[in-house]
C-alpha cells in the first residue's frame, strides 16, 4: 500500500569521495552536499513527502579534523538560515540529538541558536517536517529514553527495580522526538550498505534504498527511486 505522506530518512554519505574524484578539498564536497540537501528538501516537499529526516552530524563526527568540523557546522548554519526557502515550501524544521544541557554536549552556542531560530521561524508551516539529526547517535538516544522510562516507572510504583516493566511504548515516549513517525524508507548513498547508528528504533520496519550515487549527486531521480519502494 502506498505510504500517504511517507517518512524518508537519509544518511548523506560520500561528500568527501565526491570531492576527491574532482580533485577538490573534502570541504567542497560538504558544501555541494548542503546544496543537494536544499534541492532534496524542495523536491520532497513537492512530492508530498510527510517527513524528511537527515543525518547531518553524528556524535562520532566530532573526531574529524577541526577545520572540517568547523566547515560542516557552518553548513548547518547555512541550512538553518534558509528560512525564506523553507517557508516558501511550507517546511517545518525540527532537530534531534543530544540535548544541549546534557553532560558531554558539544554543540556550540551559535549552532544551538541557529537550530532554535529555524524551528521557531518555520513553526507555523503545515507541510513537510524536515528533521535534522545533529550531534545524534541512536544508541545514546535509546539508552537515555530507557533510563527516563525506568525512572518514570519507578516513581509510579513502589520498587525502584521496575526497569523490568519498562515497555517499548514507554521508551518511545522518551525518544528525542516522540512525534517522529516510523521511517518508511531509509536511504544511504555512496555505495555504503550500513545503518551506522541512525534511527535504529524508528527505522525498525523501514525499506532501505542503497545507491552508488554520492550525496552531492542525489537529486530528484534518486528521490523518486527511493519513493518507489513505498508507492
Ligand atoms: C558524509 O560525507 C556526510 C557527513 C559527514 C555529514 C555532513 C553532511 C553534509 C555537510 C551535507 C549537508 C547537510 C547539512 C545538514 C548541512 P563523508 O565526509 O563521510 O564522505 P566520504 O565517506 O566520502 O568521506
Instruction: Looking at the CA of residue 55, tell me the nearest atom of ligand 1.
Output: 6
Q: What is the mean pLDDT of residues 116-142?
A: 98
Listed residue (65, 8, 40) closest to 216, CA to CA:
40
Hey, whose CA ends up nearest to atom 5 of ligand 1?
Answer: 57
Distance from C-alpha of 216 to C-alpha of 24, rounded to nearest angstrom? 13
Ligand 1 pocket member 37 (CB < 6 A):
yes
Q: What is the mean pLDDT of residues 115-140?
A: 98
Ligand 1 pocket member 54 (CB < 6 A):
yes
pLDDT at 158 over 70: no
Q: What is the mean pLDDT of residues 179-195?
A: 97
User: So what's the pLDDT on residue 4?
Assistant: 84
What is residue 193's three-state secondary structure? coil
User: So what's the pLDDT on residue 152?
Assistant: 87
Q: What is the mean pLDDT of residues 124-132?
A: 98
Instruction: Looking at the CA of residue 78, tell me the nearest atom of ligand 1.
Output: 16
Q: 61 an active-site residue?
A: yes
Q: Specify the pTM.
A: 0.95
Q: What is the mean pLDDT of residues 162-189?
A: 93
Instruction: Looking at the CA of residue 18, tell me the nearest atom of ligand 1.
Output: 23
pLDDT at 27 over 60: yes
**Cell digits for 83?**
528560512
Q: In this prediction, what percent of the chain has a pLDDT beyond 70?
A: 94
Amino acid at each position: 500500500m502506498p505510504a500517504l505522506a511517507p517518512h524518508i530518512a537519509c544518511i548523506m554519505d560520500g561528500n568527501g569521495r565526491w570531492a576527491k574524484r574532482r580533485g577538490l578539498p573534502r570541504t567542497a564536497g560538504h558544501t555541494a552536499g548542503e546544496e543537494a540537501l536544499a534541492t532534496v528538501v524542495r523536491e520532497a516537499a513537492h512530492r508530498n513527502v510527510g517527513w524528511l529526516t537527515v543525518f547531518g552530524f553524528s556524535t562520532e563526527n566530532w573526531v574529524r579534523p577541526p577545520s572540517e568540523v568547523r566547515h560542516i557546522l557552518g553548513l548547518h548554519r547555512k541550512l538553518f538560515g534558509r528560512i525564506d526557502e523553507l517557508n516558501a515550501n511550507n517546511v517545518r524544521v525540527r532537530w534531534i540529538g543530544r540535548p544541549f544541557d546534557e553532560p558531554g554536549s558539544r554543540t556550540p552556542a551559535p549552532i544551538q541558536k541557529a537550530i532554535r531560530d529555524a524551528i521557531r521561524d518555520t513553526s507555523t508551516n503545515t507541510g513537510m517536517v524536515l528533521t535534522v539529526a545533529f550531534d545524534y547517535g541512536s544508541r545514546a538516544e535509546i539508552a537515555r529514553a530507557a533510563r527516563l522510562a525506568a525512572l518514570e516507572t519507578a516513581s509510579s510504583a513502589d520498587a525502584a527495580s521496575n526497569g523490568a516493566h519498562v515497555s517499548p511504548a514507554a521508551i518511545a515516549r522518551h525518544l528525542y522526538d516522540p512525534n517522529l513517525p516510523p521511517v518508511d524508507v531509509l536511504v544511504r548513498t555512496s555505495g555504503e550498505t550500513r545503518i551506522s547508528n541512525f534511527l535504529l528504533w524508528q527505522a525498525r520496519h523501514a525499506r532501505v534504498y542503497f545507491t552508488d550515487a554520492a550525496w552531492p549527486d542525489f537529486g530528484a531521480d534518486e528521490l523518486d527511486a527511493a519513493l518507489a519502494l513505498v508507492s
